[in-house]
Chains A and B, each alone.
Chain A
């Protein structure tokens, strides 16, 4: 079946530009996560959506980062006025449920963002 889909797979942009990254979770998955992975590093939590609840934005590194999830499905992560330190792979994951249910996360292949 269809997995988590992320687009674009690669994005190169100039410093100062805005970028928008998209995530299509697995159908029926109510929990959605965004992570950032710098070269050779682990996964840094950015934001979490669960159904219609208010998202947990505690991992967003600055107010240049924002995310939304429309209709409980597709999510977009927006980075405004990009900086070179924003260069990383941005990963999206979805799961059947969040808080108390131990369901595995399913990851997309990420968007590789390069800021020139």
Chain B
């Protein structure tokens, strides 16, 4: 069935360094890839998304890249800050209504 693998499961970086989280999807019909940030006790919040007709999208310190051939997409956070500490989820959606979520990455930014 459809699957999204997400790595790493935990990631610790020093404040100011970059963080990269990678996801791989299995359904070649997937064409929409959102990323969510979930803070403790809160629901996931959309931080950036990308559609399959572009290879990269940036929003300030956050960027997402997509390699459709390899079925990979990645989240890049530059100049990390303590408030970036959270759990991050990737997801993939194809021609149906279902979003397939990765298992999450717990990011810790060390001050």
A residues near B (Cβ < 8 Å) are 4, 6, 31, 33, 41-43, 45, 48, 50, 56, 91, 93, 98-100, 102, 104-110
Across the interface, which residues of A come within 8 angstroms of B51, CB to CB?
102
Number of B interface residues, CB 8 Å? 23
Q: Are A105 and B46 in contact (CB under 8 A)?
A: yes
Q: A99-B95, A102-B51 are in contact. Are A42 and B43 (CB under 8 A)?
A: no
Across the interface, which residues of A come within 8 angstroms of B36, CB to CB?
107
Q: A42-B103, A43-B89, A109-B41 are in contact. Are A104 and B98 (CB under 8 A)?
A: no
Q: Are A4 and B97 in contact (CB under 8 A)?
A: no
State in angstroms the CA–CA spacing of A31 and B99 once bound together. 12
B21: min CB distance to chain A, Å: 14
For A45, A50, A93, A109, the residue with the greatest tally of chain B CB atoms inside 10 Å of its CB is A109
State in angstroms the CA–CA spacing of A33 and B96 once bound together. 13
Of the candidates B42, B101, B104, the one whose C-beta lies within 8 Å of that of A109 is: B42
Q: Are A99 and B34 in contact (CB under 8 A)?
A: no
Q: B108: CB under 8 A from chain A?
A: no
A36: min CB distance to chain B, Å: 12
